[in-house]
A and B are shown apart, each in its own frame.
Chain A
């Protein structure tokens, strides 16, 4: 029996390949490390988080290097997925009916393809955040780069870095919540497959394309 038939027999559809999952989780792990170390330096009440990284000096040393890993990993992720995430008119309709989304009235929504408008929008918000974080992060990377830049630019970069990180963290909170709320989603990233029912309920257009 071929692997696809095996899956069909188990009533599953492949959503993410092993490489895609690895790519996602590298991005996710580095994000968690960056959020913790970043928050540690963001507000005094969070400074204790530096202990996780071996103290303040280590937090300061590690954060930017982990940041570069996240950027590269995310870049590959975007190159893999961006073409699934182009917004169209039905996505606008989905956004207008966000109250139906939150109240689980999915039957009232336009037919969703591989990704819904929220997922698509999040991807592009994250793309913007990642670019801004990288650029501003380089400017405030004191050890290797800051001395190339005028002080006003460094100050501006510090503000941008903090503001963008804030947007990204809130975005990821939404992302994680959505994955936990919509049951059966997490296995797409842990095992690569979703059930036929999950696909048909949440992504009907993608479901129909997949079962052809």
Chain B
């Protein structure tokens, strides 16, 4: 393989094991840690993302809030979301969260995707869309617990943050990390990032944020993009960050054991027909039955002719 640092762990719509002789990293892969408490909302990360990935979203209109553009799109893979929160003391807190793909360890998009190889998860944990294999069905949108993928109206393929997999493959940090002026975004092994987060959380607790904590939701097997939150007990304060994200049971039902089961029953139905035919034989009309029917028809005709 040309890019050994991008070995694939999981591949969408693939029932066999991808090449896996190389040992997976013992460091739980890579992770980006976003320290919400250090973020000043400058949007340098959004700009860096545009620059590195050659993305130019439409210049929209101001709708009275700082969020700009208003939502993620195929051209905006990351977005600062601003929330004005009045805390119990009556003070205003300005909560700013850099939104984008969380790179779940158990990705709902990958589970839902019907196109082989359109979504992959590398052994380092990054979940990447390979648009050349994408068929534009939008199942990834249906599967995602974080509402991240966006389908382009132009080429009808799904796009989202790649965690700069191209940069990471050659030993660089993602563009947003590189540019962040306050050091609110850091990047490294997941192990290191958890350690770094633990130090930050301790500091925050000393400063009176009793509920400070790390957002690494276990419902999706943990994520490779994590947040340090001042209010880790209430993630939804941060512009609706899910409190307990997980792949919806409906998606599990849709994409789980029911598929091979349904396929099996269809095959069984066809096979039952085959064996019924070979055991019982066709249901035929004998020549005698044909003659009887003709006689009956003739008699009926004669009767009606008489009347």
Residue numbers of A with Cβ under 8 A of B are: 8, 11, 40-47, 50, 55-57, 59-60, 102-104, 106, 140, 142-143, 146, 151-152, 154-156, 158-159, 162-163, 166, 169-170, 173-174, 177, 180-184, 195-202, 207-208, 211-212
Contacts and interface: CB of A to CB of B under 8 A. Distances in A.
Range for the number of chain B residues in contact with chain A? 35 or more
Among A163, A170, A184, A196, find the residue whose CB has the most chain B CB atoms closer than 10 A.
A196
Interface string B256-287: 00111011011001100100110011111110
20 contacts: A11-B293, A45-B263, A46-B263, A57-B135, A59-B135, A140-B142, A142-B136, A142-B141, A151-B142, A152-B250, A155-B142, A155-B254, A158-B139, A166-B262, A173-B266, A174-B269, A183-B284, A184-B284, A201-B285, A208-B300
B285 A183 contact: yes
B184 to A, nearest CB: 29
A157 to B, nearest CB: 9
A43 B284 contact: no
Nearest to A159: B254
B297 interface: yes
A103 B280 CA distance: 7
B174 interface: no
A192 B147 CA distance: 54
A145 to B, nearest CB: 11
A42 B262 CA distance: 10
A62 to B, nearest CB: 11
Contacts of B154: none
B293 A196 contact: yes
B304 interface: yes
B269 to A, nearest CB: 5
Given A143-B156, A174-B269, A200 B296 contact: yes
Given A11-B294, A181-B283, A152 B248 contact: yes
B51 interface: no
B292 interface: yes
B13 interface: yes
A142 B284 contact: no
**What are the 6 A-B residue pairs with the smallest beta carbon separation, nearest first?**
A142-B138, A197-B290, A56-B135, A177-B273, A200-B293, A196-B293
B259 A102 contact: no
A199 B285 CA distance: 10
Contacts of B135: 41, 50, 55-57, 59-60
B91 interface: no
Contact of B156 (A46, A57, A155): A57
Contacts, number: 155
B300 A211 contact: yes
A106 B290 CA distance: 15
Given A11-B294, A60-B136, A196-B293, A104 B248 contact: no
Given A50-B135, A163-B258, 13 more contacts: A40-B114, A45-B263, A56-B115, A56-B134, A56-B135, A104-B283, A174-B269, A184-B284, A197-B285, A197-B286, A200-B293, A207-B296, A211-B296
A183 B138 contact: no
A143 B294 CA distance: 58
Contacts of A201: 285, 289, 293
Interface of B: 13-15, 114-116, 133-139, 141-142, 147, 151, 156, 248, 250-251, 253-254, 258-260, 262-263, 265-266, 269-270, 273, 276-277, 280-286, 289-294, 296-297, 300-301, 304
A211 B301 contact: yes
Contacts of B283: 104, 106, 181-183, 202
Contacts of B276: 102, 177, 181
B93 to A, nearest CB: 28
A207 B273 CA distance: 27
A151 B143 CA distance: 9
Contacts of A43: 259-260, 263
Contact of A41 (B114, B142, B285): B114
Contact of B285 (A140, A184, A211): A184
A202 B289 CA distance: 11
